[in-house]
Amino acid sequence: MSLRTVFAPACLACILGGGGPSAAGAGADWPEYLGGPERSHYSALTQIDTGNVSRLRVAWEFHTGDSGEMQCNPIAVNGLLYGLTAANGVFALDAATGRELWRAYPPGQKANRVIRGLVYWSAGDDHRILFSAESWLCAIDARTGKPITTFGVDGRTSLKAGLGEQAQHKYVISTTPGTVFDDLIVMPMRLSESADAAPGFIQAFNVRTGKLAWTFRTIPAPGEPGYETWSKDSHRNITVGAANNWAGMAVDRQRGLLFVPTGSAAPDFWGGDRKGANLFANCLLALDVRTGKLRWHYQFVHHDIWDRDLPAPPNLVTVTRDGRAIDAVAQVTKSGYVLVFNRDTGEPLFPIEETRVPKSDLAGEESAPTQPVPTRPAAFSRQTLTEDDLSPYAENRDELRAKFRAARKGAFQPFGEYDTILFPGFDGGAEWGGAAVDPDGILYVNANEMAWVAHLKETPRQEDLADLSPGNRVYSTYCVGCHGPERKGNPASGVPSMVDLGARRPRDEVFTLITTGKGMMPGFPALPLAEKQVLVDFIFGAEKTEGDTNAPSMIAKSALSRSPFRLDGYVKFVDSKGYPAISPPWGSLTAIDLNTGEHRWRITLGEFKELKEKGIPATGTENYGGPVITAGGVLFIAATKDGMFRAFDRKTGKLLFETELPAAGFATPCTYEAGGKQFVVVAAGGSKLGTKKGDSYVAFALP
């Protein structure tokens, strides 16, 4: 593999020097995703503090030239800042000035792909950047951007290496950086959420060679622990898959323990082919990082049929209980809870109760009779909704009330052929931005407060599609569930319209997206070329159907026969103006004392300027990307739909500073010291939630 690399003059060997900590001193860098192996989002820097943060100014702005959403948490090592563009380009900057030093694109990969970060690794004079490109893990020289040709084959190794034969033609990518321990890197994976999903086994690769080191099977085979919690053929990956880690991991390097939050089994909303609790889906796993052997686990959702996957890396934190320090691991959830465990034993530090929940009435579905619900800490998102919680600002409140009354509601209410209100929604509660923790055991988490409406439909049978055109058959098999029969999508819920798509995107780009996926949309790499072609023809209104019925392929037939039900689109519960149909706050930020389980403070996060101009108090907005906290007492966060970058007093939640970014920053910031100054940098690419596009990384510092 050869990467296209663009250079700017610089003596990178002088900047990087040897391995080890930077010349600026320990704590000056942001060397790993979310700050370090503990995923604490915490920096010991103090130059910017609560007394001077209001004086922050833009120190530099780097334009990548690739506009679009960026979720990258950049890393800063030895005076260099590494990040990703919206088009999958890797770059290195002078961290003090923002001057570009080099840039590299994987071959054929200059296409929008939202990736949340990358990995820096060094040993002696060997300095590497590891990052994902489609189904590959790539390694390049941190000084030049050139491939490490001794890694895998020509600088890349397959993320499908340990997944088995069934997965080799399935959708497998990674959007979150791996976790490093010595010469190992353990990789998250994003997979399909339908019946065609690959298995989500946890895989470790050798950083030097790219070879597969070990695999932990999250869907156990006969004779392995947990096998009895699945249908007997689930491990064959014919009709069942996933149970993957996509959100990232944390590692305790002293103990040699890797903490892995896993997602749902697939298909997401139908479990008839995977009867049982489904270990090790929806679990926090503690693995021996050297071998992949299981030390302990805890399952957050039994037999998940709500897509309640664990959304963010856990936080390693030390808490005090009865005067005794306990090394703990805390995991936030989409449901709006944080659960805390003893790092060594997996024992919960606060009571968790198995609570009886409603039973599914779908034929063939066997939902779990109970689900675990923590008693402390208190949830950081509302858990119930009543009619009194409908938005006082909605102009169609009577219509919303009728919809609300007709829908089923409540935690762990199984979906069916009726409307069910899911709250917190599909995107949380907590999301992939995750939480920050400080040395005092205080956890800071931002949350969405958006209700969604879920409805299952019968999957069409082959005979139901017989009278459709070839392209419409493929569309109805793979696309109609989200984009709808009229191709209008649901822009309010993040599902774009396909109407007049040809006026907005070139044909070759759409063709590529069908294979690779983007955002919420999975890719379909196993879809035959002929079916991709007729699908694009249908979407672009250019399909020719004369004289050829072109029956669905075996892949389409297989897909149709696998799951009898599917979700009828991702639909947010919104009012006639597109605002959340429930009362504010629609976004929040909460500080939780993990020593006691008490909330320290909770504030509304974000606002709609047009509502503020009408005299409506700050409502909060949906938010994606997490906080960063510092020893200077400051919490930094972008994340909100309003495009603002804010700083709060982490002790009180008081707003200390805010400024508008050139585009919304749906990313977690980083902070580091370079040239004697502390910088805070955030990616501002916008695009999500209908916001304008951008292409910049913005660095703030004191004047």
The per-residue pLDDT of the chain, averaged, comes to 91
Each residue's pLDDT tens digit, 249-264: 999 999 999 999 999 9
The helix or strand, by DSSP H or E, that contains position 6, with its residue range, turns out to be strand 4-7
Given a cut of 80, whether residue 78 has pLDDT beyond it is: yes
| Mean pLDDT computed over 143-165 | 97
Each residue's pLDDT tens digit, 621-648: 999 999 999 999 999 999 999 999 999 9
Position with higher pLDDT, 532 vs 695: 695
- 3-state SS string over 542-597? CCCCCCCCCCCCHHHHHHHHHCCEEECCCEECECCCCCECECCCCEEEEEEECCCC
Q: What is the DSSP string of 125-162?
A: TEEEEEEEETTEEEEEETTT--B-TTTBBTTEEETTTT
| Mean pLDDT computed over 378-406 | 97
Lowest mean pLDDT among 23-32, 142-151, 301-310: 23-32
Question: Which of the four pLDDT bands, split at 50, 70 and 90, describes residue 588?
Answer: very high
Given a cut of 80, whether residue 302 has pLDDT beyond it is: yes
Lowest mean pLDDT among 24-38, 221-235, 374-388, 655-669: 24-38
* Kind of pairing between the strands at 294-299 and 283-288: antiparallel
580: which strand partners?
Answer: 574
**Are the beta carbons of 301 and 284 closer than 8 angstroms?**
no
Q: Which domains does the chain have, with CATH numbers?
A: 460-562 (1.10.760.10)
Other C-beta atoms within 10 Å of 545: how many?
15
Report the distance separating Cα 635 and Cα 334, nearest Å. Answer: 22
Given a cut of 90, whether residue 465 has pLDDT beyond it is: no
Residue 493: what pLDDT? Answer: 65
Torsion on CA atoms 37, 39, 44, 46, rounded to nearest 10: 150
**Are the beta carbons of 291 and 214 closer than 8 angstroms?**
yes
What sign has the CA pseudo-torsion 652, 658, 661, 663? Answer: positive
Report the distance separating Cα 341 and Cα 329, nearest Å. Answer: 5
**Are the beta carbons of 558 and 294 closer than 8 angstroms?**
no
Who contacts 70 (Cβ-Cβ below 8 Å, separation ≥6)? 64, 84, 85, 86, 114, 666, 667, 683, 684, 685
Residue 519: what pLDDT? Answer: 65
Cis peptide before 424 (omega within 30 of 0): yes
Residue 559: what pLDDT? Answer: 47
Report the distance separating Cα 406 and Cα 306, nearest Å. Answer: 20
Six-digit token string for 537: 């023809």
| Mean pLDDT computed over 465-491 | 78
**Are the beta carbons of 679 and 671 closer than 8 angstroms?**
yes
Amino acid at 250: A
Given a cut of 90, whether residue 391 has pLDDT beyond it is: yes
| pLDDT over 70, % of the chain | 91
Return the axis-axis angle of helices 529-539 and 507-516, rounded to nearest 10°.
Answer: 130
Residue 562: what pLDDT? Answer: 65
Question: Which of the four pLDDT bands, split at 50, 70 and 90, describes residue 22?
Answer: very low
Q: Which strand ranges, in their side-by-side order, compose the sheet holding 179-181?
A: 179-181, 184-187, 202-206, 212-216
